[in-house]
Amino acid sequence: MRLFFYRVALAVLAFQTTPLRAQSEPAVTTVSVGGVEAVLIKPTKPIGSIILLAGGDGRIGVEGGGVIKRQGNQLVRTRMAYAKKGFAVLVPDVGYDLSALVGLMKTIKRPVTVAGTSRGTQRGAEGIASGARPDKLVLTSGFLSDASMGEPPGNARRRSERNAVSILGSPGLLPPTLVVHHRQDRCWATSPAGVAPFVAWAGGKARAVWIEGGEETGDPCEAQGHHGFRGVDQKVVEAVSAFAR
């Protein structure tokens, strides 16, 4: 008889706790906002919101059900890490209206932080210049200032590249800003030398966190190099999360 009641108690406990575990998992969906499809990851009680802007051409292949086909980009591949820290996360495909993205996330939970990496920092700056007003901004491996630019292969594109300083024109548009940069970033357009001039230009609105270590393979401007923080993803997540709270 005691064994019977023991088994019943275990069954009741399992019935009660399983829904609680399910509720603790963030909901992952695809939403249409600002003219594009985006993946929305929403914890039950978010502590804030983060919008992740991919680098490169920005095409990540968002599909239904929260699926992303191209997941190599550093911010894209770490999206669940931010959700596990309690943030509502939005990851848009290319062609977005940043003001619309920020507006959506403000209805979910503030503060809203926009985090862009590599060419995503250009798109983030362009969005702010066009009227987007996030509460905070993060620029990782960024196109920051003229000093960020080295000599590209063939020396064909250097003068056409825009950076955060040239796009914004004035630090008055900047929200509180965090720069995250790898000391060994060898990408020609995001030299570590560009960090200090940007922070100085920002006039107290920006600070920098330096990342070291990890690995590098292939193109130094791609996600598997120091430019993409290969092997040190968690260091980036910790720095961005602490700033975004």
Please state the three-class secondary structure of 48-88 as a single string: EEEEEECCCCCCCCEEHHHEECCCCCHHHHCHHHHHHCCEE
Sheet holding 112-117, edge to edge: 27-33, 36-42, 87-92, 48-53, 112-117, 136-140, 177-182, 206-211
* Range of lowest pLDDT (39-53, 158-172, 185-199): 158-172
Q: Where are the domains of the chain?
A: 26-244
For residue 154, the model assigns a pLDDT of: 63
pLDDT category at 157 given cuts 50, 70, 90 is low
pLDDT, mean of residues 72-85:
97
- Per-chain mean pLDDT for the chain: 90
CB 96 within 8 A of CB 102: no
CA atoms within 13 A on the CB side of 195: 20
* Range of lowest pLDDT (9-13, 22-26, 132-136, 162-166): 9-13
pTM of the model: 0.88
Calpha distance 242→58 (Å, rounded)? 25
26-244 has which CATH code? 3.40.50.1820
pLDDT, mean of residues 140-148:
97
CA atoms within 13 A on the CB side of 60: 31
Cβ-count burial 57-80 (b if 16+ within 10 Å, e if not): ebebebeeebebebeebbbbbbbe
For residue 184, pLDDT beyond 60: yes
Calpha distance 81→83 (Å, rounded)? 5
Q: pLDDT tens digit string along 53-67?
A: 999 999 999 999 999
Q: Percentage of the chain surpassing pLDDT 90?
A: 84
Q: Cα–Cα–Cα angle for 218, 79, 222, nearest 5°?
A: 15
For residue 26, pLDDT beyond 50: yes
For residue 142, the model assigns a pLDDT of: 98
For residue 25, the model assigns a pLDDT of: 86
Q: Are strands 36-42 and 87-92 parallel, antiparallel or unpaired?
A: antiparallel
For residue 152, the model assigns a pLDDT of: 74
